[in-house]
Amino acid sequence: MSTYRAFEATGARNLRLVERPVTEPAPGQVRVRVEACGVCHTDVLAVEGLREDPSRPVVPGHEIVGFIEAVGAGVTAWQAGERVGVGFLNGHCGECEPCRRGDFVNCRRQEQTGTTIDGGYAEVTHARASGLVRIPEGISAIDAAPLLCAGLTTYTALQQSGIRPGALVAVQGIGGLGHLALQYARSLGYRVAAIARGREKAPYARQLGAAIYIDSADADPGEELAALGGASVIVATASSGAAMNPLVRGLAPNGKLVVVGAAPDPLTIATTDLIFGTRSVIGSLTGSSIQNEDNLDFSLAHDIRASVEVMPFTQALEAYERMLSGQARFRVVLDTTAA
């Protein structure tokens, strides 16, 4: 095929379907025929014009699964026909100081898929070979797509904690990130507490792996966790700084509040809550491509799945609006094969 369809975002809330010519991949890149692409809240950066130059067209989407159609010059580890994924980080350069120290996530020359470089609201996309993720056998494109971002984000947040099996881990929020974090925490062998608003969410939280449910509308979650001895790690997924503020008091000595939910309002934390108990607050940004392969293998072995709503690729705008409304349970995935 000489052309492909893609949804271009320009300005704010201007997402339109266009026809583009198929081009050969640049050196170090591959061309991917997209099978599925997840719709993530981070897509607002492209669609709402929250990027450096909103006038420049960009294709949103960074939870991409497809197969390689063509490889560019210098690509030796990948071949046409291989099934791959592309996440939010489009591939590290291997040359900047963070890369030379093995910190690929913080590569200084790394494009952000669907924000600074074209993503997966399209039938075709291009990606750096260093950003590719091998998709294991036994998992569908629809199931794999949200694990490439929402799954990896929560998986690495828990993996970096270095805590013992059986330790108390709390997950704040049971949404697109939180419902996966609960499954990972359970499968990693932790004692899991879920924090959310409303008693009606308790049965679902327990189904996902929570042994304890804390209704934040009925009790202070920090005090509740402290009464349990404190959490070694709290993964904060809700997009609210105000909701995260009381959590620090619920950390055990040397405990960590790991923030993965991007909130518009700041955290306000008492210094004494950090000092007494030697507690810390850290951020966690997704993971590298090889960590994503570990994530998919772990998810497949432990039957960790996102709750998804599937929509055809041609309804990308409707899918984005449904994600943004908060009504989706819990991830929306575009099916390009059904378009």
Buried-state track 210-243, b at ≥16 Cβ within 10 A, e below 16: bebbbbbeeeebbebbbeeebbbbbbbbbbebeb
Res. 1: pLDDT tops 90: no
Tokens representing 281 are: 């607050």
β-strands 212-215, 191-196 pairing: parallel
Tokens representing 110 are: 């790394």
The predicted-structure confidence for 122-153, as pLDDT tens digits, reads as follows 999 999 999 999 999 999 999 999 999 999 99
pLDDT band at 319 (very low <50, low <70, confident <90, very high): very high
**Residue 225 and residue 283: Cα distance in Å, rounded?**
21
Q: Give the residue from 166, 147, 136, 287 showing the smallest Cα distance to 231.
A: 166
Q: How much is the pLDDT for 339?
A: 62
pLDDT band at 338 (very low <50, low <70, confident <90, very high): confident
pLDDT band at 161 (very low <50, low <70, confident <90, very high): confident
Res. 156: pLDDT tops 90: yes
The predicted-structure confidence for 263-290, as pLDDT tens digits, reads as follows 889 999 999 999 999 999 999 999 999 9
pLDDT, mean over the chain: 96
Tokens representing 140 are: 């569908």
Q: Give the residue from 323, 53, 304, 39 showing the smallest Cα distance to 181.
A: 304
pLDDT band at 157 (very low <50, low <70, confident <90, very high): very high
pLDDT band at 162 (very low <50, low <70, confident <90, very high): confident
What single string gives the DSSP state of each residue in 7-50?
EEEETTTEEEEEEEE--PPPTTEEEEEEEEEEE-GGGHHHHTT-
Q: How much is the pLDDT for 326?
A: 87
Q: Looking at residues 238-258, what average pLDDT do you find?
A: 94
Q: Looking at residues 250-266, what average pLDDT do you find?
A: 94
Q: How much is the pLDDT for 321?
A: 96
Tokens representing 99 are: 């890369």
Q: How much is the pLDDT for 75?
A: 98
**Residue 314 and residue 311: Cα distance in Å, rounded?**
8
Neighbours of 75 (CB within 10 A): 19
Q: How much of the chain exceeds pLDDT 70, in percent?
A: 100
**Residue 311 and residue 306: Cα distance in Å, rounded?**
15
Tokens representing 57 are: 């067209």
Give 278's strand partners: none
**Residue 98 and residue 138: Cα distance in Å, rounded?**
34
Q: How much is the pLDDT for 258?
A: 96
Q: Is residue 41 within 8 Å of 323, Cβ to Cβ?
A: yes
The predicted-structure confidence for 56-89, as pLDDT tens digits, reads as follows 999 999 999 999 999 999 999 999 999 999 999 9
Report CA-CA distances (Å) from 178 to 126, 182, 279, 316. Answer: 30, 6, 22, 24
pLDDT band at 179 (very low <50, low <70, confident <90, very high): very high
Query: Which of 45-49, 235-239, 325-329 has the least mean pLDDT?
Result: 325-329
Q: Which domains does the chain have, with CATH numbers?
A: 3-150+287-338 (3.90.180.10), 161-283 (3.40.50.720)
